[in-house]
Amino acid sequence: MKPQTTDPTVRHDAVIFFDVTDGNPNGDPDGGNRPRVDEATGHGLVTDVALKRKIRDTIGLTADALDYQADRYHVFVEAGHALNTRTAESYKATGIELKSRKISPEQAEAARRWMTDRYIDVRLFGAVLSTGETKALGQIRGPLQFGMARSIHPVLPVSHAITRVTQTRQEDIDKGEKTEMGSKWTVPYGLYRAQFHYSAALAKKTGVTTEDLTALYKTLQFMFDHDRTATRGIMTMRGLYVFSHSNAYGNAPAQPLLDRVQVALASGVGTPRTFTDYKITSDIGELPAGVIFDILQD
């Protein structure tokens, strides 16, 4: 990993590729958990929220593996924990009376700083803290923004009828019923592409460090290995390509840089069903001055 790639004081633009085999990478709760698709084109979709959830679920393990300070790698948005309660902890930790109606800007800033120092997802993604009795904290804008992931080619979600050998209700068993029907959705195969962008200006406000960026990249490489379920099938990170600038503002627009990473079907392939049916290429022959390119996974 090149030093500039993990420099928190400069801008970064990146593209990732991951694939799914016989699984549901992101079900739609409004559609019976059917895999998300663009109805107009049939391309598969995975929301930015789903991607960030996987990062949140794994980055603590990454920090532990890297022997980082554990107190800086708690996760704010975590199952089983109320956000208001966690935000109120910042008041207690910084000596603010929770019921006080007169919280100075300096006190609010101290509480926000406590949050960013403690929670890695607040440092990276930001957070809305103006809830419950802690309205004075407002919002923290995070430096890291993910877009939706979209499959390279259209996907064809398949519904599978399944059975289990017991029932949900005792009265159904008493009636003599022996099995219960259900269903699950899968995508036979799909290769997905997503982008993320890092603002050094916002990172300066939340206190992102070189260690945080290192943990992020390592998490992206291994997050599917630590987030396996039968529903999601086999999900694998297939590529992580980073363009790093020499300053916080940036040396070139993001999209033309990311468009240099292209995907095409391998020769003779009609319907892709494995990663080897694709070929990823990177055109980095003449990068703008000040921009470096780093392949963290290929």
Given pLDDT bands bounded at 50, 70 and 90, which one contains residue 101? low
- Cβ neighbors of 218 (< 8 A, separation 6 or more) are 62, 65, 66
pLDDT at 131 over 80: no
- In whole angstroms, what is the distance from residue 232 CA to residue 223 CA? 13
Position 133 scores a pLDDT of: 67
pTM of the model: 0.93
Q: What's the angle, vertex CA 233, arms to CA 230 and CA 234, rounded to 5?
A: 130
The stretch 72-79 carries a mean pLDDT of 95
- In whole angstroms, what is the distance from residue 40 CA to residue 28 CA? 16
The stretch 207-231 carries a mean pLDDT of 96
Residues 267-273: contacts with CB under 8 Å, at least 24 apart: 272/152, 272/153, 272/189, 272/191, 273/188, 273/189
- In whole angstroms, what is the distance from residue 59 CA to residue 84 CA? 22
Position 91 scores a pLDDT of: 87
Print burial letters for 162-175: b (CB count within 10 Å at least 16), e (below 16).
eeeeeeeeeeeeee
The stretch 192-205 carries a mean pLDDT of 98
**Strand-strand pairing, 158-164 and 292-297:** unpaired
- Average predicted confidence (pLDDT) for the chain: 93
Q: State in Å, rounded, how far the first CA of the chain is from the last one.
A: 13
Two structure tokens written together for 294: 């780093």
* Entry field: residues in the chain: 298
Model pLDDT for residues 230-257, shown as the tens digit of each residue:
899 999 999 999 999 999 999 999 999 9
Model pLDDT for residues 16-70, shown as the tens digit of each residue:
999 999 999 999 999 999 999 999 999 999 999 999 999 999 999 999 999 999 9
Domain segments of the chain as ranges: 3-172+182-297
**φ/ψ of residue 123, rounded to 5:** -60, -40
Amino acid identity for residue 241 in this structure = Y
DSSP 8-state assignment for residue 119: B
Position 179 scores a pLDDT of: 79
**φ/ψ of residue 135, rounded to 5:** -65, -25
Q: What's the angle, vertex CA 106, arms to CA 105 and CA 107, rounded to 5?
A: 90
Given pLDDT bands bounded at 50, 70 and 90, which one contains residue 166? confident
For residue 18, the SS3 value is strand
